[in-house]
Amino acid sequence: MTAAQTRTARTICPLCEATCGVIITLEDGRATTVRGDDADRFSRGFICPKGAQLAALNADPDRLSGPMVRVDGVLTPVDWETAFEAVAKGLMPLLEAHGRDSVALYLGNPTVHNLGLSLYTRPLIKALRTRNLYSASTVDQMPKHVSSAQLFGHPDTIPVPDLDHTMLLVVLGANPMISNGSLCTAPDFPGRLKALKARGGQLIVVDPKRTKTADFADLHLAIRPGADALLLAALVREVGQTCGISRLTPHCEGADALLEAVERFTPELVAGPCGLEASAIRGLAESLVQIQPAAIYGRIGTCLNPSGTIASWLVDALNALTGNLDRPGGVLFSRPAHYLARPRRAWRSGRHTSRVREAPEVRSELPVAVLPEEILTPGEGQVRGLITIAGNPALSAPDSTTMQTALAALEFMISVDPYLNETTRHADVILPPPPPLSRSHYDLAFSGLSVRDVARFTAAPLPVPDGALEEWQIMARLVAILSGYPVATPAAAVDGVVAQTLAGQLTADPGSALIGVDPKAVLEAVGAKPGPERLLDLLLRAGPRGLDLETLAAAEGGIDFGAIQPRLPGVVSRPSGKVNLAPEPFVAQLSRLLDEPAPSGLRLIGRRHLRSNNSWMHNLPKLASGANRTALQMNPVDAAEREIAGGDVVCIRSEFGSLEVTVELTDRLRAGVVSLPHGWGHGQPGTRQTVAAAHPGVNCNVLTGGAQLDPLSGNAWLNGVPVTLSLATP
């Protein structure tokens, strides 16, 4: 091999929210090694074991290289034109006979890590015009969106902890030493926690498990699952009793109503349900009063239960009351370099409801937990077709058994996905994107959730393989079909319309730097190149930093605009211009929490592994190997009570299903709590993921259910689910 054939290219790892810059070595047009990019202005060389597998992911032999269409019941490779013909032939009759709502759309997690997909989501939703819109958000962060919408006016106006400057970080229900953070984009989260300790700061972790993050903490409070809202209400009350509203920024309203709402939540009252000592709760409140600045941060553990929105709200109410909202070292709003639409209006949900159980729409979405019943319940408005984009609801959504029955019952299904997995095996048409290293990268979502204000763009390290379609082209072709254009309409024609529409919007919004400019001139300035890069260029030009794509692309390692800065009151888009600390529906829901029966029996929670990424990276040998990753972790005390020993196979049951699993004893879990990870249960018939099939694991979402949701956000109840155990009969 000659040196001329070896080169390196920069990209940004698209796998998790940490957005690490990486350097890929390319030999003979193939990615061979991956290392952290020391020149990246944000991640400064950090990389984790998953990022290190990007080259392997890119070259995974099980990745689909071309579209597949079901012919006589069998998924068969076809050319792209045949695939799009099949899409039109399957979808259009359903839409014509049964209306737009008869076809559902599910958007999975990788959508937001992918520029082409994120920019084409809106056009696709607009073209489909279905009320049956679903996403992974309702098995994840929807409570935080609802909370932010009510507090700040927009669901994406989410404050992030100022990790690099805080002196006290309180983490509830997150394990960033393993997950690398979520709704808090901070490459090298572990290093940032070490820096917090090094400058004399404190870390407090509230988690039923003594996690790797808790190992690192000054204090770990092993709360009972699902009790965070109660704990937070008591903390708000205690802080309110000590400092009243003296530390509140003047940009808040509703403080009196907030303090009244938490009045009854004394530490003594919530101690039992939280499984904590009242004195420990008081102690935490005291730390929050004394240590300044402080940041309170809640994530998955606070969101995946029926009081997820209440907990998400109280996290920010507590930040506000302790004087830490919009303050360096507290929680702040990042300012991305691209344009964001933030019209000033009252936010609403429930503008329509699901057909069967009348679950309210939130952000135009219905809870993914109701998708199975919408497919399986006959009648007017029944879902008969489904499009999944980068999602694996067969494993990731609650009540997997019913979900998979529902997917099998669909009349027609399309998946945009690189793998033949538990979900896409049900599809009639699979449209695979090119490998990840064949696309450019810019973080539209995560640059609005970052602990520093940064902008980074990387070009695609590798060309799109022969015969592949770029992901935006696949999306554009779907948009054309759903809009009733001829099937053969080129992607570029659709893209032209999308760019024109965006230019029109950007030149008409007073919140855009392009307000009043002639849209034609703007389009001329960005040039004719189709696809996401032109759309991104438009968004950058309309953004607050006066950037354009060429300038950004030339900035090696990206541009660092510095630490995140206070943004109140401008960032609030509520009609009053103030932060609402006591949204009425939240106050009403909070008061109901005290009426709930005290929890009893065993509760199941989840866990994440450093080498997993939800369900879809178990097909890489280096990430899937090792000891049994889906053992049921339990406390020795619970095991002894049931005469169960480590290594025993037990049957774990819930209202929704049962599984046989091997027990692993650990005193890291508090008694009364057992744990299984999600995203496993591979090797199902009709899938093609060879490595994953050899390490199938069990699917914990067989045990979770969609019957009870967070009423305010529609989020699923996946943590703290009641279960029972018995020894499996050999």
Ligand X SMILES: Nc1nc2c(c(=O)[nH]1)N[C@H]1C(S)=C(S)[C@@H](COP(=O)(O)OP(=O)(O)OC[C@H]3O[C@@H](n4cnc5c(=O)[nH]c(N)nc54)[C@H](O)[C@@H]3O)O[C@H]1N2
Closest-by-Cβ residue to ligand SF4 is 51
390 binds, among Mo ion, ligand X, ligand SF4, none (CB under 5 to 8 A by kind): ligand X
Only one of the segments 140-148, 385-393, 587-595, 664-672 lies at the binding site for Mo ion (rule: CB under 5 A); that segment is: 140-148
Q: In this complex, which beta carbon is closest to Mo ion, that of residue 220 or of residue 607?
A: 607
Q: How far is the CB of 533 from ligand X (least distance, A)?
A: 17
What are the phi and psi torsion angles at 726 (to 5°)? Answer: -150, 155
Q: How wide is the angle at C-alpha 303 spanned by C-alphas 442 and 118, nearest 5°? A: 20
* DSSP string covering 356-416: TT-PBPBTTBPPGGGHHHHHHS-STT---EEEEES--HHHHSS-HHHHHHHHHH-SEEEEE
What is the helix (H) or strand (E) element at residue 688, kind and residue range? none
Following DSSP, what letter does each residue of 249-313 receive, concatenated? -TTEE-HHHHHHHHTT--HHHHHHHHTS-HHHHHHHHHHHHHSSSEEEEE-HHHHSSTTHHHHHH
Cβ distance to ligand X smaller for residue 432 or 519: 432
Bridge partners, residue 658, by sequence: 653
Output 179 or 580, the one with its CB closest to ligand X.
Answer: 179
Q: Which is nearer to ligand X, 143 or 254 (CB)?
A: 143
248 binds, options Mo ion, ligand SF4, ligand X, none, Cβ within 5 to 8 A by partner type: none
Q: Which does 605 bind (CB under 5 to 8 A by kind): Mo ion, ligand SF4, ligand X, none?
A: ligand X
By the criterion CB under 6 A, which residues form the site for ligand SF4?
A: 13, 15-16, 18-20, 47-48, 50-51, 180, 187
10 binds, among ligand SF4, ligand X, Mo ion, none (CB under 5 to 8 A by kind): none
Least distance CB 421 / ligand X (angstroms):
5
- Cα–Cα distance for residue pair 51/35, rounded to 1 Å: 8
In the numeric block, which tokens belong to residue 608?
């994440």
| Pair of tokens at residue 346 | 């009252």
**Residues between 223 and 252 that touch ligand X (CB under 6 A):** 223, 225-226, 228
Q: Which is nearer to ligand X, 243 or 278 (CB)?
A: 278
Burial of 165-180, coded b for 16+ CB within 10 Å and e otherwise, reads bbbbbbbbbbbbbbbb
| Residue number with CB closer to ligand X (512 or 630) | 630
Residue that has been written with the tokens 């390692």 in this structure? 557
The reply on whether position 543 binds ligand X by CB under 6 A is no
Bond from prior residue into 293 cis (ω within 30 degrees of 0): yes
Between CA 453 and CA 559 the distance in angstroms is 9
Q: How far is it, in rounded angstroms, from Cα 57 to Cα 53?
A: 6
- Is the CB of 140 or the CB of 710 nearer to Mo ion? 140
**What are the backbone angles phi and psi of residue 729, rounded to the nearest 5°?**
-75, 130
566 burial type by CB count under 10 A (0-12 exposed, 13-18 middle, 19+ buried): middle
Q: Which residue has the tokens 């819930």?
A: 654
Size of the site for ligand X (CB under 6 A): 64
Q: Assess 211 for contact with ligand X (CB under 6 A).
A: yes
Distance CA 490, CA 218 (A): 59
Query: Going residue by residue from 432 to 461, which x/- string records binding to ligand X, judged by CB under 6 A?
Result: -x--x-------------------------
Using CB under 6 A as the binding rule, whether residue 719 contacts ligand X is answered as yes
Residue from 153, 679, 697, 714 touching ligand X (CB under 6 A): that is: 679
- Work out whether 443 is an interface residue with Mo ion (CB under 5 A): no
Contact between 491 and 530 under an 8 Å Cβ cutoff? The reply is yes
Nearer to ligand SF4, 231 or 620 (CB): 620
Question: At its nearest, how many Å lie between Mo ion and the CB of residue 175?
Answer: 13
Q: In the bound complex, what is the minimum distance in angstroms from residue 50's beta carbon to ligand SF4?
A: 4
Of the chain, the end-to-end C-alpha distance in Å amounts to: 57
Closer CB to ligand SF4, residue 16 or residue 296?
Answer: 16
Give, as ranges, the residues between 455 and 494 that touch ligand X (CB under 6 A): 471
Binds ligand X (CB under 6 A): choice among 701, 710, 713, 725: 701
Q: How far is the CB of 48 from ligand SF4 (least distance, A)?
A: 3
Please, what is the Cα angle at 357 between 351 and 361, to 5 degrees? 25
CA distance 179 to 189: 9
Residue 57 binds what, of ligand SF4, ligand X, Mo ion, none (CB under 5 to 8 Å, by partner type)? none
Q: 665 CB contacts (<8 Å, ≥6 apart)? A: 633, 634, 635, 636, 639, 645, 646
Site for ligand X in 94-123 (CB under 6 A): 108-110, 114
Assess whether the previous peptide bond of 67 is cis (omega < 30° from 0).
no
CB of 303 vs ligand X, minimal distance in Å: 8
By a kind-dependent CB cut-off of 5 to 8 A, residue 15 interacts, out of Mo ion, ligand SF4, ligand X, none, with: ligand SF4
CB of 36 to ligand SF4, least distance (A): 8
Round to whole Å and give the CA distance between 150 and 148: 5
Q: Point out which span in 151-159, 168-176, 503-511, 539-547 binds ligand X (CB under 6 A).
A: 168-176
Please, what is the minimum distance in Å from the beta carbon of residue 713 to Mo ion? 14
3-class DSSP state of 433: coil
Which residue in the shown chain puts its C-beta closest to ligand X? 301
Contact 222, 304 (CB under 8 A): no
Give the residue with the Cβ less far from ligand SF4, 43 or 382.
43
Q: How far apart are CA 473 and CA 438, in angstroms?
A: 13
| Nearest distance, CB of residue 466 and ligand SF4, angstroms | 28
SS (H, E, C) 215-243: HCCCEEECCCCCCHHHHHHHHHHHHHHHH
Q: Between residue 302 and residue 341, which ones bind ligand X under the rule CB under 6 A?
A: 302, 305
Find residue 605's DSSP bridge partners.
675
400 binds, among Mo ion, ligand SF4, ligand X, none (CB under 5 to 8 A by kind): none
| 298 burial level (CB within 10 Å; 0-12, 13-18, 19+) | buried
Shortest distance in whole angstroms from residue 629 CB to ligand SF4: 17
Q: Which does 19 bind (CB under 5 to 8 A by kind): ligand X, ligand SF4, Mo ion, none?
A: ligand SF4
Cβ proximity to Mo ion, 113 vs 131, nearer residue = 113
Of 723, 725, 717, 586, nearest to 226 (Cα)? 717
Kindly tell me which residue out of 37, 40, 60, 140 binds Mo ion, with binding defined by CB under 5 A.
140
**Closer to ligand X by Cβ: residue 60 or 373:** 60
CA distance 368 to 406: 12
Q: Which stretch binds Mo ion (CB under 5 A): 13-21, 138-146, 372-380, 420-428?
A: 138-146
Q: Show contacts with ligand X in window 171-200 (CB under 6 A).
A: 172-176, 178-180, 182
Q: Going residue by residue from 612 to 651, which x/- string records binding to ligand X, judged by CB under 6 A?
A: xxxxx-----------------------------------
Residue with smaller CB distance to ligand SF4, 36 or 226? 36
Task: State the residues that interact with ligand X by CB under 6 A.
Answer: 16, 108-110, 114, 136, 139-140, 172-176, 178-180, 182, 206-209, 211, 223, 225-226, 228, 299-302, 305, 389-393, 396, 416-419, 421, 433, 436, 471, 605-610, 612-616, 678-679, 700-701, 704, 718-720
